[in-house]
Structure formats: C-alpha cells, structure tokens
C-alpha cells in the first residue's frame, strides 16, 4: 500500500508557501484596518504624487468593471482555487510566486465578502490607488513570468 503522506522536504515547502500567503493576507488586512481608522487624517501626501488616500474599489484591477458585485466575487474565488491547484501541479519554482498571488487574492476577497468592495489606499502618481494585496499579486505575477521565461527553451533564429 502506497503512503499518501508527503516527505518532510515537500511538506516544509508547502508550509513555507502557506506562511507566505498567510503573511500577505495578514499584512494586507492590518494595513487596511490601520488606514480605515485614520480616515479623518487622509489624504496624507508624502512626496509629490505619492501618499495615502482611501478609495473603495468595487471592480477589479485598475478600477475596471466597477460595481461588479457577486460575479466579480465568484470569479475571484474561482481563480484563487485554480491558483492553489496550480501551486500543487506546477514545478516547485512557481510555488512562492503563486503563494504571493494567492495571498493577495485572498486579502482582496476578504474585503469583498466583508464590505462589498476592496479598500485601496496607496496613491502613486497617475496610477489608480492600490493596496498590499495588489502589490503582492503584481510581484507574484512578475516572478511567475520570470520563472516561465527562464524555463523556456532558447530557440536559434539562424536554424
């Protein structure tokens, strides 16, 4: 009979990925709570166009699909589940980048379930406001792309 128990090294890697996702969710939620309590002092501009300005986003990335409501919530939940499955199936080099994306997705999903919108607060020049979860998603996506490009075979154009 074959054991379904993961070897210690694999189990530790999964625990590390879970810890990364949990840390992203915790940092995201804590910063949103802090900013939400400081609303009387906002906006707070640090340098030029960089500051803290509270915004409520009912849409998806960069303010698209505003007022999406339940369909957006359902889509985010489905994508998060797919990402967790991909973490299991893809080579381990994708595990930490996907953990960043899953943590960010869960952080924003918690907001959607709790308030019906995502709390954004980082104001950076002409960009739409964003939060810790959004930053983790972007960093994770860049790292996934980097890993994919690294693993892609190089083709010779002279052939």
- Could you tell me the residue ranges of all domains in the chain? 23-151
Mean pLDDT on 22-38: 94
pTM above 0.85, yes or no: no
Interhelix angle 95-115/8-37, rounded to 10 degrees, is 40
134, 156, 157, 158: which is the annotated catalytic residue?
A: 134
Catalytic residue at 156? Answer: no
Highest mean pLDDT (candidates 26-35, 37-46, 59-68): 26-35
Of 142 and 125, the one with more pLDDT? 142
Question: What residue has token string 């007022």?
Answer: 67
Question: How does pLDDT run across 65-108, given as a tens digit for each residue?
Answer: 566 667 778 888 999 999 999 888 888 899 999 999 999 999 99
Say which of 120, 156, 157, 158 is annotated catalytic. Answer: 120
Q: Are 110 and 34 in contact, with CB atoms under 8 Å apart?
A: no
Residue 7 has pLDDT above 70, yes or no: no
Told to judge if 120 belongs to the known catalytic residues of this protein, a careful annotator would answer yes
């Amino acid at each position: 009979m074959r054991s379904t128990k993961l070897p210690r090294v694999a189990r530790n890697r999964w625990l590390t990925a879970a810890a990364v996702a949990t840390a992203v969710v915790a940092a995201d939620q804590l910063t949103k709570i802090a900013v939400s309590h400081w609303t009387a002092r906002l906006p707070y501009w640090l340098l030029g166009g960089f500051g803290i300005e509270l915004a409520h986003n009912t849409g998806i990335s960069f303010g698209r699909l505003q007022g999406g409501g339940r369909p957006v919530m359902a889509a985010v939940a489905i994508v998060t589940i797919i990402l967790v499955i991909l973490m299991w199936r893809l080579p381990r080099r994708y595990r930490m980048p996907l953990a960043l994306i899953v943590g960010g997705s869960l952080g924003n999903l918690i907001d959607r379930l709790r308030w019906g919108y995502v709390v954004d607060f980082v104001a950076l020049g002409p960009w739409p406001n964003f939060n810790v979860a959004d930053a983790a998603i972007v960093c994770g996506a860049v790292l996934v792309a980097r890993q994919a490009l690294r693993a892609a075979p190089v083709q010779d154009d002279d052939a």
